A and B are shown apart, each in its own frame.
Chain A
Amino acid sequence: MAGSCDYEKYCREGDDEALERIIREFRDGLILYLRTFTGDIHTAEDIAEDTFVKIAVKKPRYNGKASFKTWLYRIAGNMAIDHLRRRRESVPIDDCGELTLDDISLEESYIRDEERIAVHRALGKLPGDYRQILWLVYFEDMQVREAAAVMGRSVHAAETLIYRARRRMKEELEKVL
Chain B
Amino acid sequence: MKSIEETARSVISRRDKELRRIRKRNRRFAAALSAGATVFAIATAMIVTGRDSGNKDAASAVNSSLSDENAGTETVVNAPETDIIWMNEGYGDEFQRHSALVASDEALLFGGRDGSISIQIDFGEKVLSAASADSLIAFSFNASKGTAAGTDKMQEKLSNECYLLSGRADEALFTAAERLEKDKNITNAEAMARATGDSEYLRLVGEYREKAEEYERYLRSVHYERNKDTIETFEKLGFTVISKGTDDDFDRYLCFGSGGAVLAGTKEQIDALSLEDFEGVEHITLYGSSKTDLPRIYGEPKRMVHLREDSKLTDELLAAYEENGGAALKVRIQAGWDDDLWGEWVDPHVYAYEAIGLHSEEEFNEAGPDILTSEKVDLFYEVLNKYTYWVNEERFGSFFKEGELIEAREYAWDLIAELTCERAQELCNNKCIAYITLPDLNESEGIESVIALDE
Do A and B assemble together?
yes
Interface residues of A (CB under 8 A from B): 11, 16, 19-20, 23-24, 27-28, 37, 41-42, 45, 48-49, 52-54, 56-61, 65-66, 71, 74-75, 78-79, 81-82, 84-85, 88, 90-91, 93, 102, 105-106, 127-129, 145, 148-149, 152-157, 159-161, 164
The answer to whether B308 touches A85, judged by C-beta atoms less than 8 angstroms apart, is: no
The answer to whether B11 touches A93, judged by C-beta atoms less than 8 angstroms apart, is: no
The answer to whether B312 touches A53, judged by C-beta atoms less than 8 angstroms apart, is: no
The answer to whether B341 touches A24, judged by C-beta atoms less than 8 angstroms apart, is: no
Given contacts A42-B1, A57-B18, contact A66 B310 (CB under 8 A): no
The answer to whether B342 touches A164, judged by C-beta atoms less than 8 angstroms apart, is: no
Query: Which one of A75, A152, A160 contacts B316 once the chains associate, using CB atoms below 8 Å?
Result: A160
Measured between beta carbons, the chain B residues less than 8 angstroms from A28 are 4
9 contacts between A and B (CB under 8 A): A24-B8, A53-B15, A59-B159, A65-B346, A66-B346, A79-B341, A84-B310, A85-B442, A128-B311
The answer to whether B314 touches A60, judged by C-beta atoms less than 8 angstroms apart, is: no
Measured between beta carbons, the chain B residues less than 8 angstroms from A127 are 312, 314
The answer to whether B350 touches A155, judged by C-beta atoms less than 8 angstroms apart, is: yes
Given contacts A19-B8, A54-B341, A58-B161, contact A154 B350 (CB under 8 A): yes
Measured between beta carbons, the chain A residues less than 8 angstroms from B12 are 16, 19-20, 56
A-B pairs, 4 with minimum CB distance: A154-B347, A90-B311, A56-B15, A58-B159
Give complex CA distance A8, B355 in Å: 26
User: Which B208-255 residues have a C-beta within 8 angstroms of A?
Assistant: none
CB distance from B22 to the nearest CB of A (A): 8
Interface residues of B (CB under 8 A from A): 1-2, 4, 7-8, 10-12, 14-15, 18-19, 22, 156-157, 159-161, 282-283, 305-312, 314-316, 319, 335-337, 339, 341-347, 349-350, 353, 359-362, 442
Nearest B residue to A154, CB-CB: B347
The answer to whether B156 touches A61, judged by C-beta atoms less than 8 angstroms apart, is: yes
Given contacts A60-B159, A105-B1, contact A154 B349 (CB under 8 A): yes
The answer to whether A102 touches B8, judged by C-beta atoms less than 8 angstroms apart, is: no
The answer to whether B342 touches A61, judged by C-beta atoms less than 8 angstroms apart, is: yes
Measured between beta carbons, the chain B residues less than 8 angstroms from A153 are 306-308, 347
Of listed B314, B342, B360, residue having the most chain A CB within 10 A: B342
Give complex CA distance A77, B347 in Å: 18
Give complex CA distance A134, B89 in Å: 45
CB distance from A95 to the nearest CB of B (A): 13
**Secondary structure of the A contact surface, majority rule:** helix
Given contacts A58-B160, A84-B310, A154-B306, contact A53 B361 (CB under 8 A): no
Measured between beta carbons, the chain B residues less than 8 angstroms from A129 are 309-310, 314, 316
The answer to whether B307 touches A49, judged by C-beta atoms less than 8 angstroms apart, is: no
The answer to whether A159 touches B344, judged by C-beta atoms less than 8 angstroms apart, is: no
Give complex CA distance A152, B307 in Å: 9
Given contacts A53-B14, A57-B18, A59-B159, contact A145 B350 (CB under 8 A): yes
Query: Which one of B1, B160, B311, B350 contacts A45 once the chains associate, using CB atoms below 8 Å?
Result: B1
CB distance from B153 to the nearest CB of A (A): 11
The answer to whether A85 touches B337, judged by C-beta atoms less than 8 angstroms apart, is: yes
Give complex CA distance A105, B1 in Å: 10
Query: Which one of A23, A60, A61, A91 contacts B311 once the chains associate, using CB atoms below 8 Å?
Result: A91
The answer to whether A49 touches B7, judged by C-beta atoms less than 8 angstroms apart, is: yes
Give complex CA distance A23, B14 in Å: 14
The answer to whether A71 touches B344, judged by C-beta atoms less than 8 angstroms apart, is: yes
Given contacts A61-B157, A78-B337, contact A156 B360 (CB under 8 A): yes
Give complex CA distance A74, B14 in Å: 22
The answer to whether B344 touches A65, judged by C-beta atoms less than 8 angstroms apart, is: yes
Give complex CA distance A106, B11 in Å: 20
The answer to whether A156 touches B361, judged by C-beta atoms less than 8 angstroms apart, is: yes
CB distance from B357 to the nearest CB of A (A): 13
Give complex CA distance A130, B1 in Å: 26
Q: A84-B310, A85-B335 are in contact. List 15 more A-B contacts (CB 8 A).
A: A28-B4, A49-B2, A52-B11, A57-B22, A59-B159, A66-B346, A82-B341, A85-B337, A90-B310, A127-B312, A149-B350, A152-B345, A153-B307, A154-B361, A160-B316
Measured between beta carbons, the chain A residues less than 8 angstroms from B310 are 37, 81, 84, 90, 128-129
Of listed B19, B350, B442, residue having the most chain A CB within 10 A: B350
The answer to whether B307 touches A20, judged by C-beta atoms less than 8 angstroms apart, is: no
The answer to whether B311 touches A93, judged by C-beta atoms less than 8 angstroms apart, is: yes
The answer to whether A59 touches B160, judged by C-beta atoms less than 8 angstroms apart, is: yes
Give complex CA distance A81, B336 in Å: 10
Give complex CA distance A74, B339 in Å: 10
Give complex CA distance A20, B307 in Å: 36
Query: Which one of B160, B344, B347 contacts A74 once the chains associate, using CB atoms below 8 Å?
Result: B344
CB distance from B232 to the nearest CB of A (A): 20
